Every structure is written in C-alpha cells, then in structure tokens.
Structure 1
Amino acid sequence: MTARPACARLVPMQSQSLPLFPLPTVLVPGAALGLRVFEPRYLDLVRECSRNQSGFGICLLVDDGSGEASAAAAFGTEAVIEDFDTGDDGLLTITVRGRRRFRADTVCVRDNGLQVATVEWLEPDPVEPLRPEHGLLAMLLRGLLEQVGGEHADSLDQRSDDAAWVGWRLTEMLPLSDTQRQQLLQEDDPHVRLDSLLGLLPDAD
C-alpha cells in the first residue's frame, strides 16, 4: 500500500472503501479468528461495522524495511463479525469469519487513526474438483480434521473434493509461516495454490 493521506469525506462511486485492522497474522476465506479489541479506533470500527452490518479488512503487518512490522500488506481478507463477548479482563472480544479477498489500492487515515482503504475485490474461487495429483492433500486434511475436529470436520465429506476449500483449510491449519500464508492468499488459482502447498510439505521431494 502507498501513502496515508487524511480520509476524504466522499469516496468515488466506482470505488469501495473498507476500514482496515492490520494484524501480525493472515486470515483466509472461511477461517474464524478471535480478536481482543481495546484501542479506541478499533472499538469505533466494531461499532461502525455492527451498525452497518458490514465487514472490515484484515491485512498482514509486514516489515517495511525498518526491521519492524509496521506496514500492511496490500492483499487481505474481509472479516465479518459473528460473535461478541467480554473477556475476564473486561475487554471486548469478537469472533470474525474470513469472507472475500481484496487488494487495497490507496489508504487514508481518519482523525482517530483508523486506516481506510480503497479496495478492489478479487474474483471468488471457482468450485472445481480436486485434481488427482492433489489427492495427498485431501488425505492430509482428512487426517488433520479427524484428529482435531472442529467446525470444518462436519463439512469434510461434502467438500473434500472442492479444490479451493481444501486449499484454504490446509492454509489455515498447517504450521506455515505468515509469509507463506500471505503468498497463498494472493494466489488466484486454487490448483496452483494446491501445487504450492504440495511444495511446502516436508516430504514433498
């Protein structure tokens, strides 16, 4: 992403603005993520999204060259709020779900410090069957879900042949680095994404 000017009051009709919540993690489509919210700008974000029944963008914080994670990646995922709670420390906690992927063009900053991006939504994943060369990945995912259970285990039998779904669930569950997850998030072709996951397996050679 580029400069961060003050936010204009109006956004051109052909563009769509999306408030951002940069984090040191990658959210992928279909994945759930729990967040503790305490900064005023992000409390404002949650209130705004709840009032408008809209989502916000989660982008990975990356090193901008200074040695610290201080810049947000240009590609991210829209997060929609599914649940609210209050933690033992009295802080607001929310559960969000990854939905659409986006690419941020320009970013501005509101008076309260909240970043708002003009975004382009990426094409949704096509529903295509798993290719034979990716059968190992489906077996791996089945083993993981049978071991840990969770919400996705209930969908395994219906979606284990969906190339995009298998790829996102493995991206979510495998012990990958944030950089690796970000690269997978930016890949548009679900079969190429699966090829990349195959290459990341320890015994892929």
Structure 2
Amino acid sequence: MFPLGMTLLPGEPLNLQIFEPRYVQMLEDCTSDTGHNSFGVVLISRGRETGGGEERVDVGTLAQIEECSPRPDGRFHLTCVGTDRFRVNSWLPDDPYPQAEIELWPTTDPIASAGALNPVIARLGQLAATLDRVRGIEVGDRLTQPLEAEEPLDAKVYGTAVRLGLGPADRQKILSAPGTPARIEALSQALDDLIAVIEFSGLPAD
C-alpha cells in the first residue's frame, strides 16, 4: 500500500518518484517474480506522505506499474495507471511498509439509461458558460465531448473528475460512492461547488 496526498481514480495515470527505503522495498516486492506488479493507493486523511504515522482512508485504487526506471541517485521513477477500486478490510503492521487486507469493489449497478449523465452534461455546460463570462476562457463543447465516447459510465465520471483537476476530497467522494448513480450525484455536486467558487472569484471587492 502507498498512502498519498491524492486520490487516484481508475484509468488515471500516476507518476511517482520512489526514494524512501520502505517503498523501495515495496517496489522490489511488487516487481519480483512472485509479485503482481501493482500496489494500492489510498488518500492520507491526516499527516504527511513521508515519515509514517499518517491516517488513511479505507477506499482506494490499485496502481498498475507500467514502467519502472532506476535513477543514478538511487531513486526510481514509476509510470502507473489506476485500475481496480478496492476497500480495506484491515490494516496490517507497517513492516517494512504499509500493508492491508483488501477486497476489490467493482460497480455492480445495472446499465444506466442513456440520459444518466444529463445532470453532469448540464453542469459542464454551465461551467463552460461561467468560465467564459467570469474569466474570459472559451472552452466551447470541449468539456462535454469526451462524454460521447463509447466507454462505461463510471469511466466517463472518473475521466471528467481527472480532466477538471478536482481536489482530493471531491475525488474521494466520487471514488467512495457505492454505485454509479451516487457517483454521478457526487460529481454533479463537485461541479456545483466548482461553479460557485468561480462565480465568487468574479465578484467585485468591497
């Protein structure tokens, strides 16, 4: 397990610099002949990424290692991608690095209707209009175009959160939603909050 100050979402690329001895050991174990070439990423709810002793959330994403490049200074550069969502059943002693017993948590909702993403599409249109009016940024339909791709709804929700650069708290709510409808609702609320922040930033100072 690799606790980080970010929430990794399924399908999202992840680049890491590994230098702490405990995570160098984790990397060796993950990439050995008996390893599975992936590790779990969870958000740190309190504390720091280095030094240990942090508090962690219990829903995360597996990171599949795609490339591992050693550096002359002993560091390793990892290129990974988020794959499966999981829940932590129990945390094990951090010896020699964070470990946990987990279970994969796939979405089991039935296929949603074609209009399931309408709330998100409407808010993305509102976000585009707000960016144009408040900040003079013209994005046209670039925010909604990716939603036309032939891919699962969850992938579209996760992808939208990544493209918009939503913060860890919003991303964690989206990841932790029990199913697709709740995930769409969490994304819609995050978009409402983002629009409100942009609107507030455009108000004249008193």
Q: TM-score, normalised by structure 1?
A: 0.71
**Distance of 1:63 and 1:110 partners within structure 2:** 17
Aligned residue number for residue 100 of structure 1: 84
RMSD across aligned positions (CA): 3.1
Aligned residue number for residue 66 of structure 2: 82
Residue 32, structure 1, aligned to residue 13, structure 2: yes
Match for residue 149 of structure 2 among 150, 157, 164:
157
**Distance of 1:185 and 1:49 partners within structure 2:** 24
In the alignment, is the contact (CA less than 8 A) between 1:75 and 1:186 conserved in 2?
yes
Instruction: Supply the AA of the counterpart residue of 2:24.
Output: L
**Distance of 1:110 and 1:189 partners within structure 2:** 31
* Structure-2 change in CA distance of 1:156 and 1:73 (3 Å): same
In the alignment, is the contact (CA less than 8 A) between 2:12 and 2:82 conserved in 1?
yes
**Distance of 2:188 and 2:79 partners within structure 1:** 30
1:189-204 alignment runs, 5 A limit: 189-201=179-191, 202-203=194-195
In the alignment, is the contact (CA less than 8 A) between 1:163 and 1:191 conserved in 2?
no
Greater Cα offset, 123-132 or 179-188: 123-132
User: Offset of 1:137 from its aligned partner?
Assistant: 5.9
Match for residue 119 of structure 2 among 133, 148, 152:
133
Aligned residue number for residue 131 of structure 2: none
Match for residue 29 of structure 2 among 41, 48, 52:
48
Match for residue 186 of structure 1 among 160, 176, 186:
176
In the alignment, is the contact (CA less than 8 A) between 1:24 and 1:60 conserved in 2?
yes
Instruction: Supply the AA of the counterpart residue of 1:58.
Output: V
* Structure-2 change in CA distance of 1:84 and 1:203 (3 Å): same
* Structure-2 change in CA distance of 1:85 and 1:130 (3 Å): farther
**Distance of 1:185 and 1:37 partners within structure 2:** 25
* Number of residue pairs aligned between Structure 1 and Structure 2: 173
Give aligned-pair identity as a percent: 25
Aligned residue number for residue 143 of structure 1: 142
Residue 176, structure 1, aligned to residue 166, structure 2: yes
Structure 2: runs of 5 or more not aligned: 48-52, 129-138, 197-206
Structure 1: runs of 5 or more not aligned: 1-19, 147-152
**Distance of 1:110 and 1:60 partners within structure 2:** 16
User: Offset of 1:203 from its aligned partner?
Assistant: 4.1
